[in-house]
Every structure is written in C-alpha cells, then in structure tokens.
Amino acid sequence: CVAFLWFFLGMEKVVVCPYKRPNALYRLICFPWAGGGTSQLAQWGKLFSSSVEVSSVRLPGRESRHKEPFAKDMATVVNEITSALLKELQEKPFAFFGHSFGSYISFAVALHLKEKYGLEPFHLFLSGAHAPHSEAFLPIKTVSISDTKDEDVLKYIEILGGTPSELLQNEDVKEHLILTFREDLRVLQTLSFEKAERNIPFSCDITCFNGSEDKSHDVEAWHDLTSGDISFYELPGGHFYLLEPSNEIFLTKHITKCIENAGL
C-alpha cells in the first residue's frame, strides 16, 4: 500500500492528468516547450473524445515542483519520466505529442522505452523541432548559455511568443521564466543521439507540425528515424501557432483521427 502510494504521488508529481478517463482505449502523453509547464497541454484532455486520456509531463523547477532543483541533463529527465509512466504505458497503446523542447524530450523518452523495454508509441506527433541528428540541430547544441545575457534570453522568449506580455511585466515571473528557459536549454544540449548506419530506431508513424511563420525546421530528416509513415503539416502562425484556438482544434482533431485510424 505504501509502495503504491509512493508510486501514485510520484506519478502525480511528474505527470498531470486533469481529465482522467480510466476506460480510455489510448493514452496521449504531451511534452511542453522550454520554460513551459503543464497548463496548456493538460487542458487538451477536454478536447478529446472519451477514448483518449491526455496527460502532460511536468519537469522539476516549475509549478508545484518549483522548489525542486532543475534537472541537470536529458538522461535524468528521461529516467524520471519513464519511471513515472512505465506501468501505465505497459497497459494501453500510447502516443506522444511534443512541442519544440518537448519534441526532443518525447523523442528521447520514446528511444529509451524502445531500447530498454521494447515499448514504442504507436504514433509520435512532433511540433516545431528539427530531427535530433540533423545539422540544423547543431547550433542549439553549441550556443553558450552562461555567456548569454538575461535581456537577450528575454528578447528571444518575446520573439518566440507564447508568453502573455502581462506576465513579463512581473519581475519575479520574468526572472523565473528566464532561469527555467536557460535550464531547459542546458538539458537540451545534453541530448546525444548519433544515427547509426542502417539502424532505424522506430517503426511507428510520425507526424510533424510547424508554424508557417516560424523558422523552418529540418523535419525531412525525421524520415531516417522510422520505418513507419511520416507526414508534415504547416499551420498558420509563428512558433506558438498551437496556442491559436483554430490550430488547437485542427491539432486535436487530426491527432484523434490518427489515433482512431491506427487500427489497434
């Protein structure tokens, strides 16, 4: 009983599911962007039919975990998420959705699940991200975080969008957002993935989404990573196109269609 309680509390801390559907046929696990929490993607639960239960991953250093130290590297993040989710993912078919930084975490978790447990999402939905072995990803790995001034980080966050301007007027919120963004970027820089010759890690289908006004991402290279089908969609807007209600409706409807057509 104590062990179960510990597991449950660990799960609730790391994985947020405000719209629980114990009878759902499928699980969709969402992974938020750098500096982000669970508030937006966890709310997707109410947009899906009763056959899909939606959860969002919460990393240390934010929301109810704001007093915890930030994760130091991608391996720590992957291990914690895997520990919290493993039992659930063994019970039902599951898909992942990640945006930007979240795409890379979802990829790393999926890779770990496949290599260590022989488990694989039946669909990876990736948004606003390069394939992790592409040359376009290299500049992210080499930017010097410690040399970047706070105002430059803030300017970048403002350019990306997605953060209400009134929040950025609050000094404490702004300071914490800059810190969280830096720490998430530090984690991202520790993602190491070398595409081995003739080794295709996944067999699941992959769908890539991008904002039409966002910088272009090397999504073609995702082809190298699965033997499944791959498709690409460009939706109107910038890096945070997915926060537009019309795009949110398109995404949730399209993801639902993919899940229901998976024939599981």
Active site annotation includes 100: yes
Q: Which residues of 191-221 are buried (b: 16+ CB within 10 A; e: fewer)?
A: bebeeeeeeebbebbbbbbbbeebeebebeb
Q: Which of 58, 77, 129 is nearest to 98 (CA)?
A: 129
| 247 vs 44: CA distance, rounded Å | 12
Terminal CA-CA length for the chain: 33
Residue with tokens 């997707």: 44
Alpha carbon 126 to its chain centroid, in Å, reads 8
What letter would DSSP give residue 38? S
In this structure, the chain runs to a length of: 264
| 201 vs 96: CA distance, rounded Å | 16
Sign of CA dihedral 155, 159, 163, 168: positive
Active site annotation includes 123: no
| Helix, strand, coil percent values for the chain (each to nearest 5) | 45, 15, 40
Q: Which of 182, 184, 150 is nearest to 168 (CA)?
A: 150
Please identify which of the residues 56, 100, 103, 127 carries the catalytic annotation.
Answer: 100
Which one-letter amino acid corresponds to residue 59? Answer: L
Residues annotated as part of the active site: 100, 239
